[in-house]
């Protein structure tokens, strides 16, 4: 399969770990053109990945971060929407999205349900004239905008805070407020949700099944099918899991271990920072 779409990703902060290298290399090896945008540059991107200045899409200014986790997810959400508005025939992919086969779409829409509740924007294509895209950009233009999709009680709380002169910033709102939750809301509101693909297309391993990708000997066939374009690794949690449970190196017979071998990525040359272990969930049982 060939594609005339380009994939674009963003990386903020330091060098890539082997997990991001694996994902980026998977696009190169699939023949999918890919651009990695950065603000400070990286020196260890796989060969074949085009590097570009992220400031050409969205000035860095103050990178918006989630208050509880410190994650730049809000800035990443904002970046992808502006990227899609500026760049024709472009599909966004998080740096934890592994390419199974080239991305192609007859409509410009390229997104999928992650669960029964919503669509994820980890891989996202929206045509430049998409009404959903226009509404996402308009909503995220105000970091204090009130999201109606969390229900009247939460809306009332935010309105009361605003009336007191203490508006709540998006960084203090629920995780995903500018991401999957906003995306799902506006896709439904515009009717463009009809373009969303089934979960198997982009999220064959559900979030609660993500650790299966680290289990030695697991057969991925029941999950990854002929309808799958991409596998989402749930990067922050996956990196933390690899550090805390596997001493930074996935087992060779795990799904991720086998993919590292397939694409010639040596995990010892680009280790995951040890600080990532703090993001792992201690309530999760070891597998």
The model's pLDDT over 186-221, given as tens digits with 9 standing for 90+, comes to 999 999 999 999 999 999 999 999 999 999 999 999
| Range with the poorest average pLDDT among 105-114, 170-179, 206-215, 276-285 | 276-285
The dihedrals phi and psi of 146, each to the nearest 5 degrees, come to: -90, 120
The side-by-side arrangement of strands in the sheet containing 90-93 is: 50-53, 34-38, 6-11, 90-93, 119-125, 110-113
pLDDT at 279 over 80: no
Contact 254, 220 (CB under 8 A): no
The dihedrals phi and psi of 230, each to the nearest 5 degrees, come to: -150, 155
The model's pLDDT over 35-45, given as tens digits with 9 standing for 90+, comes to 999 998 899 99
Averaged pLDDT, 137-146: 97
Residue 226 pLDDT: 97
Other CB atoms within 10 A of residue 67 CB? 12
Instruction: Classify the C-alpha dihedral 198-202-206-212 as positive or negative.
Output: positive
Residues 6+ apart with CB under 8 A from 221: none
Question: Could you give the C-alpha distances from 177 to 112, 116, 202, 223, 265, in angstroms and in order?
Answer: 18, 18, 21, 28, 34
Indicate the CATH number of 6-279 among 3.40.630, 3.90.550, 2.60.40, 3.10.260.
3.90.550
Percentage of the chain exceeding pLDDT 70: 91
Picking from 230, 267, 236, the residue whose alpha carbon sits closest to that of residue 93 is 230
pLDDT at 278 over 70: no
Averaged pLDDT, 46-57: 97
The model's pLDDT over 56-90, given as tens digits with 9 standing for 90+, comes to 999 886 666 666 666 788 999 999 999 999 999 99
Other CB atoms within 10 A of residue 143 CB? 16
Contact 92, 158 (CB under 8 A): no
H or E stretch at 26: helix 18-29
Identify any residues that bridge with 98 across adjacent strands, giving them in sequence order: 231
Would you give the DSSP letter of residue 147? P
The dihedrals phi and psi of 113, each to the nearest 5 degrees, come to: -65, 135
Q: Which two tokens stand for residue 211?
A: 């650790």
Residue 1 pLDDT: 47
Averaged pLDDT, 174-191: 96
**Helix, strand, or coil (residue 157):** helix
* C-alpha radius of gyration, the chain, whole number: 19
Residue 14 pLDDT: 87
Cα–Cα distance measured from residue 125 to residue 107, given in angstroms and rounded to the nearest whole number: 9
Query: Across 76-159, where does the E strand assignment appear?
Result: 90-93, 97-99, 110-113, 119-125
* Local confidence band at 137 (pLDDT 50, 70, 90 cut-offs): very high
Residue 66 pLDDT: 65
Contact 133, 191 (CB under 8 A): no
Average pLDDT, the chain: 92
Residue 4 pLDDT: 87
């Amino acid at each position: 399969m060939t594609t005339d779409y380009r994939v674009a990703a963003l990386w903020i902060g330091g060098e890539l770990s082997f997990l991001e290298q694996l994902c980026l290399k998977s696009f190169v090896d699939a023949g999918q053109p890919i651009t990695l945008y950065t603000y400070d540059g990286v020196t260890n991107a796989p060969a074949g990945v085009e590097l570009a200045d992220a400031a050409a899409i969205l000035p860095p200014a103050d990178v918006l971060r989630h208050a509880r986790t410190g994650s730049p997810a809000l800035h990443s959400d904002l970046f992808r929407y502006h990227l899609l508005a500026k760049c024709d025939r472009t599909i966004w992919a998080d740096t934890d999205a592994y390419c199974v086969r080239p991305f192609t779409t007859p409509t410009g829409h390229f997104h999928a349900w992650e669960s029964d509740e919503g669509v994820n924007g980890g891989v996202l294509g929206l045509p430049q004239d998409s009404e959903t895209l226009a509404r996402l950009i308009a909503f995220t233009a105000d970091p204090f905008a009130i999201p109606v999709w969390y229900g009247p009680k939460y809306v009332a709380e935010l309105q009361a805070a605003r009336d007191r002169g203490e508006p709540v910033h998006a960084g203090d709102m629920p995780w995903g407020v500018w991401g999957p939750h906003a995306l799902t809301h506006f896709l439904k509101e515009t009717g463009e949700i009809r373009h969303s693909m089934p979960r198997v297309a982009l999220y064959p391993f559900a979030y609660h099944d993500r650790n299966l990708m680290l289990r030695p000997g697991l057969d991925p066939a029941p999950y990854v099918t002929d309808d799958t374009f991409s596998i989402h690794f749930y990067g922050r949690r996956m990196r933390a899991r690899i550090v805390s449970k596997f001493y930074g190196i996935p087992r060779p017979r795990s799904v991720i271990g086998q993919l590292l071998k397939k694409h010639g990525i040596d995990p010892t040359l680009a280790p995951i920072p040890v600080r990532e272990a703090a993001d792992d969930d201690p309530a999760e049982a070891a597998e």
